[in-house]
Structures are given as C-alpha cells and as structure tokens.
C-alpha cells in the first residue's frame, strides 16, 4: 500500500532553541514548562503523539513522597534518609529529596492548570483516607500521609495546554536519534520524523533528556512485541544509548531484576489480576475456600480490621509502601499478608483471590474506580474492559496467578531494568557528565514513579534554562552526514533481515550470557556476540518505510545499551544483594571497595569504569539549598 504521509527521506532541516527537551512524558513536560517559565525558547521532541504519550499518558493513581503537603507528618529529610537506608545507599537521594520537597508544589501547579488532585465532588466524604478540610485523599499510610491518591487521567490534557500556553514548540512523531556534542558540551540532537523520514538538526544551548530507561533487553516476543515490557513499547532507552555513544557517565547499569511484568506470556495485564500491592493495597485476599488471608504487622501480629492495614505499628512513625518498595526493612515495614510459603504450611488453598466485596465501601471504591481507573493502562484496559465483561467488585473475586502476588512466573534469566535500576549519573543540578546535558525522570539512576518524574523534570528544566545563557556550540556536519546515512540505510536493504529477528537474538543472548548468575567467561562471550550483531547483522536490517526505520534505530540502541550492561557487569567482580547482582566467580576480597556506585562510560571505544562512594552528593539539605533555582 502507498504511504499516506509525505516522503522527506534524505532531506535535512534545522531548528534552533535555547532549551531542547527530549521526550514528552511527565518529566519532559515539566522540564519544558519550567524552562519556558524562565523565558527561554523551548522545543520538545516526542517520538509518539503528545496527547497520551509516556508511561503515564493514560493516567497515574498515586503520588509518592509529597512530604510538604498540608497533611504530611514526615519531613522531606526523614523520607530521603529512610529511602537511602532502605535501598542500602544505592538510592537517588538527590532526586528523592527534590521529590519530597517539591512534589506538593508540582501538584498545586497541575491543579492550577486544570488537573484534579482533590476529591472535589465529595465522592469519598467521610472516608478514613480523606482530609475533610483540604479534600485530599491519602494512600497506604493514612497516619503519616505522604502519598496522595490523585486523578491522574486528568493531568495530561492540563499539562499539554500549559505547555502550549507558554509557547513550547512541540515536535510530535520525532524520534531523537543522536546526541550532538562539541568538547563534551551539548550542541543539539538529531531528530527523525517517524512519518516522513525527514531529519532535523535541533540546535540547542542546553538539553534535558527525558527518555526513560532501556527495555526489550532480556524480554522480547516477535509476534506481540508490544507486550514485551511494562513501559510503552517504543520506550527502549534511546537516551541511554545516545548518551553512552557521546561519552556520558552511567551508574548501576549492572543492576537488573527478575522480570515482574511482561504480558506476552509470564504475567498478566498490569493491575489486572487479584493482588494486594501498589495500586491494589490493601485489598482483602482470600483462598479458594473463601478463607481470608490474614494481614500482619511487622512483628507478625494478626490485624483484625481493615483500618489497621493502613496504620503504622505502635511506636513506628511511618511505613514505606508503594511503587518501588516491595519488602522494606523492619524499621519501615508496613502491614502485609503472611508470606506465601507460610500460607502453604498453614494449609491455605490455591488459587487466591482479591475480594474487594468484603471491604468497607470507601476502600473498595478507592481501589476499584479511583486507583484502578486512574492508574496508567487501567482506565480502558482494566476498569472499563472488566466492567464490560461483567466484573462487579461488590460481588466478584478476581483471581491471583502463580505462586506470588504479582501473578507472574518469570525465570531468573528473564530480567528487566526495574525496581530503581541504573541510569545517568548526575550532580545536584541533574546535569550529566556532558556539560549542559541535563536529565530527568527514569533516565536518572535509581529513579521511579510519577512524582519523581515531575519534580526532577521541573528541577532539570530550571537548571537547563540557567545554563542556556550562552552561545550555540558548533555541530560537526561530517558526523551529521554519517548519521543521516546510518538512519536511512535500511531502506536500501530489500532482502535484509526483519528487525524482530535481531531483537529476539539480543534477548536470547542476554538471557544466556547476562542472566541471573554471571561470570567473566559468559559476560565476555556476550560482549563478543553483541559486538558481532552490531557489526554483521545490524547493517542487514531492512525497512520499507519510516515506521520500520524507527524499529531498526531502536534495535541499534538496544544493542548499545546491552553492551553497556555487559561491560558494567564485567567490571563488578563481587556479588551485591542490593543490586540483585550475583556471580558464580565472585571475588569476596572486592566486597568493600565495590560497595559503591560503579560508574561506566565509553570514549573512542574504550570502556572506562571507576567507583564513586555512596553519599557522594554530600549533605542533602545543604545540597538542595545551594542548588535551588528560584
């Protein structure tokens, strides 16, 4: 069939701006708005359509660590220190402190722009999680009130309207392919139009990279590739790949965890099965006989009421619960159902179910309707779809699968960059090791969730604006020409390989050579194999149109990131539990010196690694104070 869009392959265009934001998810939008508010000329590039793009384009249900909200009883510093210790100091304390300090400001911004952050219609009047004066709705720990339930489906239209109002120029369907630098300083980005194939040099004085994190590394299915990962299909870590190629420093890239979400086989649609975690906390769970599975406090005492599931233990100031925190240490452990093995010993029968019907009405409505409904990928895929299938939360029980609550059954080698994985190394300005290149959201190491994305985006956008008071850096036109050739070449490979074959080969290679247990020999074999894919197979890929070209550019980026993961894994010689990193040839003598951030970068094909101590960011409050842009 004939392509319905204009064909501009081979054409080169140029655009100029002060601040270029790459990626139109939450962090990118907040960065663009913050820079535009400072009076800068801002361009934002988005690979998809702007209306509902990003991981939270269709919504999000809870905003964590909003420690300055009027009801919160935990200070930003207390929260940041708790996370630091909980994550064994592989925690992004810079990002988390900014999140804890600025989250409430961002929420109020969203409200001013037209988003809904309160129960303005009094739907939850009288509920234990509602503050009657402010109409704010809290989640998880109803006592300390640091996490808010929000109406995230309303956010995106409001945010986009605000960007347009401020004159941000939005280039949709534009894939950023290449980071352009001059003397290790940002000069711009190459953009590829995903419909016309036009290539544009976006000249910028400073950049904010907001392209989330790599995916489709270990998990890939050629038949239904869109279900391979948790995040949007085309969100595969291009920011990481372009940064790595340009010499940027990354950290914690050796961290990966056993898969949790990949709905092509071993798990179900996110939030769509019976469970009592995250969005579904604290659903009542029953076994196949209808016997309720008890919740216990951190000391193992059985909780008798639903209300107690939302309260800290006696003498405990607050508990940690939500996105990235799964099984916190004793100090911050909240109420939880008994461990699975114990339940089996006690004679509970599979399968288990989530039973919202026996919960108080307000709690039921908060889970089914507010959380499931407002959370990403739930409004249509879970809430509407299940309702249409006849699901009634006051009558029905929703099944849980597998042997745990996640309704997933992954193998050790089926891994994901999940649970606060690695990313771009940065300083207090959220500036990367490349001058005037800032980053936000899940591009940053050990990041997670919507509140983190918005607050880090805003912070990075302000700093990018300050740094844009300078001249443009020169662009190396020879490099642009070579990139142009690389990006379009697959159009000439008529009998070449399908991109899916190479993505499948990468995922199998990574499962084989960089799986749950690593060692020098397999990692080196993995590097050889990935290098051979890059040299021998990548040039063979074929495309008939710009859509397929984008898929090929992505596979190229996945190869780049896979190499970085293998190299980082090779550099770390000793096991590390906090990094879920295990070796068969572990060298315990390295344990002490390696208890730090492994920083990796590449220059002229030479890999450079070094260790940066935990808490390299110094005093947290002082760091924030001295780097805050008013």
Partner 1 sequence: MMKDFTYHKVSSSTVSIHFDEDKCIGCNRCVEACQIDVLMPGDKTPKVIWPGECWYCGACVMECPIEGAISFRHPLMNQARFISKEELNK
Binding site for partner 1 (CB under 8 A): 1-4, 7, 9-10, 47-49, 51-54, 57-58, 153, 173, 194-195, 197, 222-227, 232-234, 263, 265, 268-269, 272-274, 286, 288-290, 353, 355, 357, 376-377, 379-381, 384-386, 389, 391, 395-399, 401, 407, 488, 491, 544-547
Residue 54 beta carbon to partner 1: minimum distance, rounded to whole angstroms? 8
Contacts with 146 (C-beta within 8 Å, 6 or more apart), sequence order? 64, 65, 66, 67, 69, 72, 73, 74, 79, 100, 318
Q: Whose Cβ is closer to partner 1: residue 223's or residue 478's?
A: 223
Q: 400, 281, 408, 290: which is closest to 348 by C-alpha?
A: 290
Paired strand residues for 272: none
Q: Whose Cβ is closer to partner 1: residue 289's or residue 630's?
A: 289
Is the alpha carbon torsion for 125, 127, 130, 132 positive or negative? positive
Paired strand residues for 22: 45, 209
Residue 360 beta carbon to partner 1: minimum distance, rounded to whole angstroms? 16
Q: Whose Cβ is closer to partner 1: residue 269's or residue 516's?
A: 269
Q: Whose Cβ is closer to partner 1: residue 124's or residue 261's?
A: 261
Q: Whose Cβ is closer to partner 1: residue 60's or residue 438's?
A: 60
Phi/psi for 202 (5° steps) reads: -95, 100
Q: 431, 435, 424: which is closest to 251 by C-alpha?
A: 424
Size (the chain), residues: 630
Residue 410 beta carbon to partner 1: minimum distance, rounded to whole angstroms? 15
Q: Whose Cβ is closer to partner 1: residue 211's or residue 437's?
A: 211
Residue 258 beta carbon to partner 1: minimum distance, rounded to whole angstroms? 20
Q: Whose Cβ is closer to partner 1: residue 147's or residue 267's?
A: 267
Mapping DSSP to helix (H, G, I), strand (E, B) and coil, where does residue 627 land? Answer: helix
Residue 103 beta carbon to partner 1: minimum distance, rounded to whole angstroms? 25
Quick one: DSSP state of residue 576?
A: B
Contacts with 13 (C-beta within 8 Å, 6 or more apart), sequence order? 198, 199, 200, 201
Mapping DSSP to helix (H, G, I), strand (E, B) and coil, where does residue 336 land? Answer: strand
Is the alpha carbon torsion for 594, 599, 600, 604 positive or negative? negative
Residue 118 beta carbon to partner 1: minimum distance, rounded to whole angstroms? 22
Q: Whose Cβ is closer to partner 1: residue 544's or residue 619's?
A: 544
Q: Whose Cβ is closer to partner 1: residue 9's or residue 519's?
A: 9
Mapping DSSP to helix (H, G, I), strand (E, B) and coil, where does residue 342 land? Answer: helix
Residue 10 beta carbon to partner 1: minimum distance, rounded to whole angstroms? 5
Residue 7 beta carbon to partner 1: minimum distance, rounded to whole angstroms? 6
Q: Whose Cβ is closer to partner 1: residue 75's or residue 385's?
A: 385
Q: Whose Cβ is closer to partner 1: residue 11's or residue 612's?
A: 11
Distance set, CA 102 to CA 37, 69, 242, 379, 451 (Å): 16, 10, 29, 28, 9
Residue 552 beta carbon to partner 1: minimum distance, rounded to whole angstroms? 14
Q: Whose Cβ is closer to partner 1: residue 269's or residue 539's?
A: 269
Is the alpha carbon torsion for 101, 615, 322, 311 positive or negative? negative
Q: Whose Cβ is closer to partner 1: residue 227's or residue 596's?
A: 227
CB 582 within 8 A of CB 575: yes
Residue 534 beta carbon to partner 1: minimum distance, rounded to whole angstroms? 23
Q: 81, 240, 77: which is closest to 622 by C-alpha?
A: 77
Residue 519 beta carbon to partner 1: minimum distance, rounded to whole angstroms? 34
Distance between CA atoms of residues 556 and 53, nearest Å: 22
- The position carrying tokens 């208890």 is 595
Residue 51 beta carbon to partner 1: minimum distance, rounded to whole angstroms? 5
Paired strand residues for 137: 130, 149
CB 475 within 8 A of CB 201: yes
Q: Whose Cβ is closer to partner 1: residue 236's or residue 620's?
A: 236
Residue 110 beta carbon to partner 1: minimum distance, rounded to whole angstroms? 18
Q: 272, 263, 224, 259: which is closest to 375 by C-alpha?
A: 272
HSE (CB half, 13 Å, CA atoms) of 365?
Answer: 14
Residue 454 beta carbon to partner 1: minimum distance, rounded to whole angstroms? 19
Distance between CA atoms of residues 603 and 433, nearest Å: 13
CB 624 within 8 A of CB 98: yes
Distance set, CA 555 to CA 4, 28, 30, 213, 499 (Å): 25, 23, 28, 14, 7
Phi/psi for 466 (5° steps) reads: -60, -40
CB 218 within 8 A of CB 259: yes
């Amino acid at each position: 069939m004939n392509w319905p869009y204009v064909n501009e392959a081979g054409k080169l265009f140029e655009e100029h701006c002060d601040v270029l934001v790459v990626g139109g998810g939450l962090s990118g939008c907040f960065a663009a708005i913050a820079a535009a508010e400072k009076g800068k000329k801002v361009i934002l590039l988005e690979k998809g359509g702007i209306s509902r793009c990003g991981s939270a384009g269709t919504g999000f249900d809870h905003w964590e660590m909003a420690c300055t909200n009027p009801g919160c009883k935990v200070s930003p510093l207390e929260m940041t220190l708790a996370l630091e210790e909980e994550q064994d100091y592989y925690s992004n304390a810079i990002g988390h402190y900014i999140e804890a300090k600025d989250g409430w400001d961002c929420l109020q911004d969203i409200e001013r722009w037209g988003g809904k952050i309160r129960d303005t219609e009094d739907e939850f009047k009288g509920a234990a999680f509602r503050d009657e004066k402010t109409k704010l709705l809290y989640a998880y720990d109803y006592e300390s009130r640091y996490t808010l339930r929000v109406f995230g489906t309303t956010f995106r239209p409001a945010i986009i309207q605000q960007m347009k109002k401020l004159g941000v120029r939005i280039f949709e369907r534009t894939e950023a392919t290449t980071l352009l630098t001059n003397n290790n300083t940002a000069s711009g980005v190459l953009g590829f139009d995903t419909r016309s194939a036009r290539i544009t040099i976006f000249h910028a004085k400073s950049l904010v990279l907001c392209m989330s994190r790599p995916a489709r590394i270990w998990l890939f299915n050629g038949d239904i590739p869109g279900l391979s990962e948790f995040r949007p299909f085309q969100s595969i870590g291009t920011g990481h790949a372009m940064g790595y190629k340009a010499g940027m420093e990354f950290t914690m890239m050796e961290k990966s965890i056993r898969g949790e979400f990949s709905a092509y086989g071993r798990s179900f649609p996110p939030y769509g099965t019976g469970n009592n975690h995250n969005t579904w906390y604290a659903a009542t769970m029953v076994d196949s006989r209808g016997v309720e599975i008890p919740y216990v406090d951190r000391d193992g005492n059985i909780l008798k009421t639903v209300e107690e599931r939302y309260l800290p233990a006696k003498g405990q100031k607050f508990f940690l619960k939500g996105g990235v925190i799964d099984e916190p240490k004793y100090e911050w452990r909240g109420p939880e159902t008994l461990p699975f093995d114990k339940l089996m010993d006690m004679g509970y029968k599979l399968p288990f179910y989530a039973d919202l019907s026996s919960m108080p009405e307000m709690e039921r409505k908060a889970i089914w309707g507010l959380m499931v409904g407002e959370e990403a990928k739930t409004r249509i895929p879970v809430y509407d779809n299940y309702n249409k299938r006849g699901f009634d939360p006051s009558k029905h029980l929703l099944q849980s699968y597998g042997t745990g609550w996640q309704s997933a059954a992954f193998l050790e080698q089926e891994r994901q960059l999940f649970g606060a994985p690695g990313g771009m190394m940065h300083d207090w300005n959220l500036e990367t090791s490349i001058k005037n290149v800032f980053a936000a959201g899940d591009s940053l190491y050990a990041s997670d969730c919507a509140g983190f994305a918005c607050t880090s985006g805003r912070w990075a956008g302000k700093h990018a604006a300050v740094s844009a008071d300078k001249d443009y850096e020169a662009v190396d036109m020879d490099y642009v020409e070579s990139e142009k050739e690389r990006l379009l070449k697959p159009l000439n490979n008529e009998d070449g390989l399908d991109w899916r074959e190479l993505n499948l080969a990468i995922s199998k290679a990574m499962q084989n050579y960089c799986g749950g247990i690593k060692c020098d020999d397999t990692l080196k074999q993995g590097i050889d194999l990935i290098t051979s894919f890059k040299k021998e197979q990548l040039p063979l890929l074929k495309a008939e149109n710009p859509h397929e070209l984008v898929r090929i550019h992505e596979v190229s980026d996945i190869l780049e990131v896979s190499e970085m993961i293998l190299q980082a894994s090779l550099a770390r010689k000793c096991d590390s539990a906090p990094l879920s990193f295990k070796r068969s040839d572990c060298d315990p003598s390295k344990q002490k010196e390696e208890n730090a951030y492994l920083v990796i970068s590449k220059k002229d094909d030479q890999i450079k690694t070094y260790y940066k101590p935990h808490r390299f960011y110094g005093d947290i409050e002082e760091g924030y104070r001295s780097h805050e842009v008013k």
